């Protein structure tokens, strides 16, 4: 038989001013299994807590009900109290007679009756509580960072600095991400590559970091501290253990294709590094465009001339690193924590028919302009028109292309475009004082350190003409483009003859961000941006313990924010990895394998993939709960018709007992 003690709190006059506390105490004494009841002025005070501890001792209480404020306030306080007296902390129940009673009811009698009912419910529930014990689980003290942009680089370096091993997975042949494509950064006009490349090199050289470039995360199993991850290492066709990155192959390769890194403005070879400062500085072979592959795939029956065998790279490689036998390979690695930093891509402006729908070569995206401005870019920093290579004089910028526009399903602000456009206007003027820039904008959003000053500088010093309004139409008129728009501040249509139009394309989640999120069992928005556990207070954590998010994979962010979030995620990961073991919350579901019929409705509804299949000794396949993954929502309990699953702390028996105290008086 249980021996339950009930402690009713006055909370000063917060409860006692409305609820007749002595009456509640008297009623509690009459309740089944209650052997002791008392009142306190402030139960949460040291005095009040001591009275609970003493009563547990004195009256050999094995369960405790505290009737006081919301359990959301002091449940943990009182768990510690009863634990200090030697009880299992889960043998406690709170009756909420403040927030749910004395604070919302003024009739003393009614409030007292309700308080008694709430105490009675808590007594009935606590009688069915069981002692629960958190499980201790081990952990792998390694971190996986997904995405090798500036965010992932920062996270990897910070984790590695604490002595933990890090694997950095990047799906492109080089780390660097979007930042590597930029020319300068706002508002300081630092050279992007100059500040990024040292970090890229640090990643490559750090003894604690393993860089897996040209690789992708395919499958994630396990749970916090104990993830098992399948990583696809795409075949590079080059043995990087032999290759010295001398560059002979990519200088001689005759297979020329449009460069992804230069966004179609330049060319690369079939065996390539994406850009000169790539890390690793060793090439991969793009099989689709490799001449030897074309030769191998050539089918005589289709006629035509047999292509040359090529294999030039193989012939000239001084270290014999070309390996035609290489295959895609899946490696499985164990990690304790995962940081997701998959970044963004830019909006595809071809859906905007009024801007030419991608048909005009001289209507380019801002990221393309970055490549044109970059000294390492396809034009070596000369800003010329893609159509005829002429130097530009009149440049029109259009803001909010794929941002703040419901029509294209992108109602959100991409946050960085106002600033990078200001940067472009300033830089173009610096390149050539004869350039005139026009900027069509909705609002100039310049919230940030030195941002407003920077945006003003574009207008005041660089003479960019800012026109508030949208562009309605762009069309090719001879060699130039005509830009029709509205200056909504004076309510007049505007017509500008431009030789280059730059569209400030917004930020979108990177390709397959949703698939990866599903693999990791973390949430994502309808725009495929990842969702943090709490937007204010847990900005780098997720609903899945041990998985952290950072950078622009979560939403539009600029470089300093990405770096800060990369570091933040690193700290959270390190805080996890520096523990010797983890404790799991015992308020999880539990399966009675005798009752389970193996319909696996529970498995279908579980949002956390916590239901596993287990074969019993009598060869039945039944559910079992992975308590490390279970978050205690109880969805499985309701899905289970035979009642084989129960939820600790909120068992069906407990809830039913509570209900029955109310209806069977």
The CB-of-615 to other proteins minimum distance in angstroms stands at 12
The CB-of-618 to other proteins minimum distance in angstroms stands at 10
Quick one: 369 or 611, whose CB is closer to other proteins? 611
Helix (H) or strand (E) holding 344, with range, is strand 344-346
Does residue 637 contact residue 652 with C-beta atoms inside 8 Å? Answer: yes
Q: How many CA atoms lie within 13 A of 511 on its CB side?
A: 4
The CB-of-471 to other proteins minimum distance in angstroms stands at 12
- Phi and psi torsions of 495, nearest 5°: -130, 125
The CB-of-337 to other proteins minimum distance in angstroms stands at 21
Lookup: tokens for 407: 């029509």
Find residue 384's DSSP bridge partners.
391
Give the length of the chain. 665
DSSP state of 554: S
Quick one: 563 or 635, whose CB is closer to other proteins? 635
Rg, C-alpha atoms of the chain: 33
The CB-of-95 to other proteins minimum distance in angstroms stands at 10
Three-state secondary structure call for residue 561: helix
- C-alpha dist (Å) from residue 358 to 8, 55, 239, 405, 511: 72, 78, 39, 18, 20
- Phi and psi torsions of 324, nearest 5°: -70, -10
The CB-of-72 to other proteins minimum distance in angstroms stands at 6
The CB-of-113 to other proteins minimum distance in angstroms stands at 5
CA 86/CA 103 separation, integer angstroms: 33
CA 310/CA 297 separation, integer angstroms: 13
Quick one: 248 or 519, whose CB is closer to other proteins? 519
Sign of the alpha-carbon torsion through 265, 270, 273, 276: negative
Lookup: tokens for 235: 């075949």
Quick one: 247 or 493, whose CB is closer to other proteins? 493
The CB-of-554 to other proteins minimum distance in angstroms stands at 17
The CB-of-347 to other proteins minimum distance in angstroms stands at 17
Sign of the alpha-carbon torsion through 419, 493, 348, 391: negative
Residue 104 CB coordination number (10 Å): 11
The CB-of-116 to other proteins minimum distance in angstroms stands at 11
The CB-of-378 to other proteins minimum distance in angstroms stands at 27
Cite the beta strand spans of 411-520 per DSSP E: 436-441, 465-468, 471-477, 480-487, 492-498, 500-505, 507-509
DSSP string, 256-280: EEE-TTTTTSSEEESEE-SSTT-SS
Quick one: 150 or 533, whose CB is closer to other proteins? 533
Quick one: 161 or 484, whose CB is closer to other proteins? 484
CA 1/CA 37 separation, integer angstroms: 17
| Helix spans in 19-85 (H) | 21-29, 46-58, 71-84
Quick one: 578 or 621, whose CB is closer to other proteins? 621
The CB-of-421 to other proteins minimum distance in angstroms stands at 24
CA 378/CA 262 separation, integer angstroms: 7
The CB-of-94 to other proteins minimum distance in angstroms stands at 9
DSSP string, 592-620: -TTT--S--HHHHH-TT--EEEEE-TTS-
The CB-of-74 to other proteins minimum distance in angstroms stands at 12
Quick one: 312 or 610, whose CB is closer to other proteins? 610
Quick one: 362 or 561, whose CB is closer to other proteins? 362
Quick one: 110 or 219, whose CB is closer to other proteins? 110
Residue 59 CB coordination number (10 Å): 14
Quick one: 198 or 357, whose CB is closer to other proteins? 357
Quick one: 120 or 374, whose CB is closer to other proteins? 120
How would you classify the pairing of strands 480-487 and 471-477? Answer: antiparallel
The CB-of-303 to other proteins minimum distance in angstroms stands at 30
CA 413/CA 410 separation, integer angstroms: 8
DSSP state of 390: P
Quick one: 33 or 597, whose CB is closer to other proteins? 597
Quick one: 295 or 600, whose CB is closer to other proteins? 600
Closest among 115, 75, 98 to 11, alpha carbons compared: 98
Quick one: 564 or 599, whose CB is closer to other proteins? 599
Find residue 397's DSSP bridge partners.
439, 502
How would you classify the pairing of strands 500-505 and 363-365? Answer: parallel
Alpha-carbon 148 to chain mean position: 14
Residue 46 CB coordination number (10 Å): 9
């Amino acid at each position: 038989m249980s021996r339950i003690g009930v402690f009713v709190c006055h909370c000063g006059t917060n409860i006692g001013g409305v609820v007749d506390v002595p009456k509640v105490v008297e009623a509690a004494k009459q309740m089944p299994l209650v052997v002791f009841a008392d009142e306190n002025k402030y139960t949460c005070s040291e005095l009040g807590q001591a009275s609970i501890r003493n009563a547990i001792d004195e009256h050999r209480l094995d369960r405790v009900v505290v009737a006081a404020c919301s359990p959301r306030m002091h449940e943990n306080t009182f768990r510690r109290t009863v634990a200090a007296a030697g009880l299992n902390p889960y043998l406690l129940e709170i009756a909420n007679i403040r927030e749910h009673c004395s604070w919302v009811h003024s009739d003393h009698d009614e409030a007292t009756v309700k308080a008694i009912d709430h105490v009675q419910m808590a007594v009935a529930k606590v009688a069915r509580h069981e002692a629960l014990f958190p499980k201790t689980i081990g952990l792998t003290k390694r971190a996986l960072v997904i995405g090798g942009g500036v965010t992932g680089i920062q996270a990897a370096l910070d984790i590695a600095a604490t002595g933990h091993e890090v694997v950095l997975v990047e799906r492109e042949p080089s780390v660097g991400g979007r930042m590597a494509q930029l020319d300068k950064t706002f508002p300081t006009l630092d050279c992007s590559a100059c500040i990024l490349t040292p970090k890229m090199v640090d990643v490559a050289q750090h003894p604690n970091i393993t860089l897996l470039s040209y690789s992708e995360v395919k499958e994630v199993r396990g749970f916090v501290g104990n993830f098992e991850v399948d990583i696809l290492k795409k075949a590079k066709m080059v043995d990087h253990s032999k290759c010295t990155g001398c560059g002979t192959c990519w200088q001689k390769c005759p297979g020329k294709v449009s460069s992804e890194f230069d966004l179609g403005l330049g060319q690369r070879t079939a065996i390539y590094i994406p850009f000169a400062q790539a890390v690793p500085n060793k090439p991969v072979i793009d099989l689709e465009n490799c001449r030897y592959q074309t030769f191998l795939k050539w089918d005589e029956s289709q006629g035509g001339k047999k292509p040359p065998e090529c294999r030039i790279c193989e012939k000239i490689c001084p270290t014999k690193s070309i390996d035609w036998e290489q295959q895609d390979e899946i490696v499985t690695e164990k990690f304790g924590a995962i940081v997701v930093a998959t970044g963004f891509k830019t909006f595809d402006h071809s859906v905007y028919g009024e801007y030419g729908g991608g048909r005009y070569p001289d209507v380019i995206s801002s990221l393309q302009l970055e490549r044109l401005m970059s000294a390492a870019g396809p034009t070596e920093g000369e800003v010329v028109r893609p159509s005829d290579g002429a130097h530009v004089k009149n440049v029109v910028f259009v803001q909010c292309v794929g941002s703040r526009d419901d029509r294209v399903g992108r109602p959100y602000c991409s946050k960085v475009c106002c600033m990078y456009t200001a940067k472009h206007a300033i830089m173009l003027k610096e390149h050539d004082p004869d350039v005139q820039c026009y900027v069509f904008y909705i609002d100039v959003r310049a919230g940030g350190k030195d941002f407003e000053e920077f945006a003003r500088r574009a207008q005041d010093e660089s003479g960019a003409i800012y026109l508030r309004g949208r562009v309605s139409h762009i069309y090719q008129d001879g060699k130039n483009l005509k830009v029709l728009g509205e200056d909504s501040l004076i309510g007049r249509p505007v017509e500008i003859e431009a030789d280059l139009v730059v569209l400030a394309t917004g930020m979108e989640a990177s390709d397959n961000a949703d698939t990866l999120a599903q693999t990791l069992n973390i949430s994502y928005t309808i725009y495929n941006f990842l969702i943090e556990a709490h937007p204010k207070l847990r900005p780098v954590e997720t609903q899945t313990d041990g998985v952290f998010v950072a950078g622009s994979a979560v939403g539009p962010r600029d470089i300093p924010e990405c770096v800060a979030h990369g570091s933040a995620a690193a700290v959270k990961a390190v805080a996890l990895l520096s523990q010797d073991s983890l404790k799991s919350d015992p308020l999880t579901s539990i399966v009675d394998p005798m009752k389970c019929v193996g319909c696996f409705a529970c498995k279908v509804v579980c949002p956390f993939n916590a239901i596993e299949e287990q074969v019993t000794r009598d060869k039945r396949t039944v559910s079992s709960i992975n308590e490390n993954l279970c978050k205690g929502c109880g969805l499985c309990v309701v899905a289970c018709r035979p009642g084989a699953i129960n939820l600790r702390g909120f068992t069906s028996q407990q809830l039913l007992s509570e209900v029955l105290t109310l209806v069977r008086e």
